[in-house]
Amino acid sequence: MKDSMLTYVSRGIIPVLEFFDSRGVGLGYTPTFRLMGSYIEYDLPPMYAAVRAGMMTQQEFEKSDKTRILMATMKAMGLDVSREAVEDLILSADFSHNSPFLPEEGEICIFEEFRELVGTPRAEYYLAHETWHMKEKDAGVIHTHPAIIEGTADYAGWEYMGGHIYLSDPNSFTNGPITVMVYRVLKNEENPLRALLRPEVRGRISQTIIEEISGLIPDIESMKEYTRSRVEEGSITEFDRRMLASPTKKTLLAGMREVGAERLADELEPQDVSLYLEMYRLD
């Protein structure tokens, strides 16, 4: 069975690579595959690409969208925080999704649960999605907010599938609402996938997301649904796990201080963090 699954993905990646080549965004190499056990052990989705490039340089960090998007999110929750405090949190090792498992460079890992998707359109979508992560890393645009990374890979998967995973159903995607925003930015581009690698286009995507977040009156159920989707996808951190187990202000502040974001914890301590906590109250 393992051999048949490996044969499936090895064959399935060929039309994905040909598709990206035809759009002028070829990867330039064929990813390798490694068969794993259950993804639950690693807290990862059924298919996982090695795209992490180590710590960001200061220049990359200054260009990153993570700070602005997280600040906009907190502002929408009624929280007043400084840029410096948010940067402390972003640079903390635990806040970023760092699984103890790290694939080799250029490798896509296939977990046991992927077997249930073999032969389905969802499997084809996953192959394109994970391959696009590799393309963005090679193009030097992978250092951005995780929501944008997943949203752009979702869009690439949607392009590959020819729209068979419909944008009218955001739940079809790993990061649905963000994917729809990516589509809005790219819909008038002659070659959307090539445009997706241009810094100015990614800047427009980032700004679109910030404007959407900043104008929100936080909807509790939507926030909880986003957290649920991250849990199901396996994109939560140890910090998230602690908050899910005990969604209290004490847990929040202690967790931030433990990962090195003391300044942010100090700024949040006198404030009402009720909306922030609600994201983790899923019962």
pLDDT digits 0-9 by tens, 183-194: 889 989 999 999
- Between CA 226 and CA 222 the distance in angstroms is 6
pTM (predicted TM-score): 0.67
So what's the pLDDT on residue 54? 39
Segments forming the whole domain that contains residue 176? 2-278
Q: Is residue 123 part of a domain?
A: yes
Reported as a pLDDT band with limits 50, 70 and 90, residue 273 is: very high
Q: Is residue 39 part of a domain?
A: yes
Q: Which residue has the higher pLDDT, 163 or 8?
A: 8
On the CB side of 112, CA atoms within 13 Å amount to: 7
Q: How many residues does the chain have?
A: 283
Work out the average pLDDT over 31-60: 59
Reported as a pLDDT band with limits 50, 70 and 90, residue 14 is: very high
- Using the structure block, give the residue that is written with the tokens 């080799």: 104
Work out the average pLDDT over 215-221: 67
Highest mean pLDDT among 53-67, 83-97, 103-117, 250-264: 250-264
Overall number of domains in the chain = 1
Give yes or no for a contact between 88 and 263, defined as CB atoms under 8 angstroms apart.
yes
Residues facing residue 110 across a β-bridge: 35, 47
Reported as a pLDDT band with limits 50, 70 and 90, residue 176 is: low
Q: Is the pLDDT of residue 152 over 50?
A: yes
Q: Which residue has the higher pLDDT, 47 or 196?
A: 196
Average pLDDT, the chain: 79
Q: Is residue 60 part of a domain?
A: yes
Q: Would you give the DSSP letter of residue 19?
A: H
Q: Is the pLDDT of residue 260 over 50?
A: yes
Q: Is residue 216 part of a domain?
A: yes
Q: What is the pLDDT of residues 21-35, one digit of tens each?
A: 999 999 999 998 887
Q: Is residue 283 part of a domain?
A: no
CA distances (Å), origin 44, targets 52, 83, 102, 113: 14, 30, 11, 11
Q: Is residue 101 part of a domain?
A: yes
So what's the pLDDT on residue 61? 47
Q: Is residue 230 part of a domain?
A: yes
So what's the pLDDT on residue 11? 93
What tokens appear for 152 in the block? 């752009």
- Between CA 153 and CA 125 the distance in angstroms is 10
